[in-house]
Structure 1
Amino acid sequence: MNWNKDKSVKLSKFCVCLFMLILAGVCIGAPWLFRLLIRLRVQDLAGKFELFLVSTYTAAVPAAAALYGLWRLLRNISEGEVFIPENVSILRLLSWCCIAAGLVCLFSALYYMPFLIVSAAAAFVGLILRVVKNVFAEAVRLKDENDYTI
């Protein structure tokens, strides 16, 4: 199989769409999912149904924004627009979305400790995205400088 940039972008777009569907499914099915979880772990989670819903729907906002940002980033890349200021802004948005989701999970760890792992992972991904954003910003600066050099 001959793998190229276009196939990679198409696969990434497919994955973004898949995650959009999963996010929508989780938001729609959250009441059922958490009732099942609480029923299975009655002693640990009794009375925390509403907290799970609040955490899920609060974290869904930055998750949806991140998926939209990923879609825009992939669209720009597929159009050959890689080192542009808009992509730097999108990467900044993605990093803040990860940090926001990490904060939601950090507060959610007060009632369910496994959220602490998710919080740390989200914060770490947010940090990596900040570094990538800084690299892109420097690349945009160098590209602009190079474009104006005769």
Structure 2
Amino acid sequence: MFKISRRKSVNLSIAVALSFIAVVAVIAVLIPFAWENTPYFSKLVNDVVINESQQLGRCVFFVWLYICFAIVEACCVMVFVLLIRVRKGLVFSEISVDCLRYISWLCMLLSLFLFVGEIFHPLMFVMAMAVVFLGLCLRVTKNVIELATSIKQEHDFTI
């Protein structure tokens, strides 16, 4: 199996995280311009039965979409901070545990908005379930790292 060094792996992960932050930001800026040229977005709003006005439906959709974008951007920034700490060798620390905690709670918050987004498209339910599972996995990882951090601190204290 192809294996790269830990440093190269972390640097690659940082590059991917920064690229993803940039891509999400660019998409967030371009969505209003693509709205008129992409019938799929207009169809999403037209299919919503709770809104009698297309303009109101568009406004609700954009508010929902930008809230989701903001949560994703916050997650990406926290992943970037965590990767910088990994590169410095500061994995087992309270700040790293806090980063994992924030990312997991942001995933849970995003899943809540994706459940609400089911009014726009039924597949949002599937996406929400996947994000809940990701958030749960991150909570377990956070608990493991938190325990390892406390064991490391006890070990450092006794030495």
Give yes or no for TM over 0.5: yes
Cross-structure match for 2:23:
22
The gaps in structure 2 that reach 5 residues or longer are none
Q: Please, what TM-score do these two structures have when normalized by structure 2?
A: 0.85
Deviation of 1:81 (Å): 0.9
Deviation of 1:41 (Å): 6.7
Kept in 2: contact 1:95–1:130 (CA 8 A) = yes
Is 1:149 the counterpart of 2:134? The answer is no
Q: Please, what TM-score do these two structures have when normalized by structure 1?
A: 0.89
Cross-structure match for 1:92:
101
Kept in 2: contact 1:34–1:49 (CA 8 A) = no
Aligned pair in 2 of structure 1 residues 149, 58: CA closer, same or farther (>3 Å)? same
Kept in 2: contact 1:85–1:140 (CA 8 A) = yes
Partners in 1 of 2:42 and 2:69 — Cα distance? 23
Residues 4-83 of structure 1 aligned to structure 2 (within 5 Å): 4-35=5-36, 36=38, 37-39=40-42, 44=47, 47=54, 48-83=57-92
The gaps in structure 1 that reach 5 residues or longer are none
Partners in 2 of 1:33 and 1:97 — Cα distance? 27
Cross-structure match for 1:104:
113
Which amino acid in structure 1 is aligned with residue 110 of structure 2? A
Q: Residue deviations 1:85-133, cap 9 Å, x none?
A: 1000000000011111111111111232121111111111111110000
The answer to which of 40-49 and 85-94 deviates more is: 40-49
- Give the number of equivalent residue pairs: 150
Which amino acid in structure 2 is aligned with residue 28 of structure 1? V
**Alignment RMSD:** 2.1
Q: Of residues 122, 126, 142 in structure 2, which corresponds to 1:117?
A: 126
Cross-structure match for 2:139:
130
Aligned pair in 2 of structure 1 residues 122, 33: CA closer, same or farther (>3 Å)? farther
Identity percentage of aligned residues: 28
Deviation of 1:39 (Å): 4.7
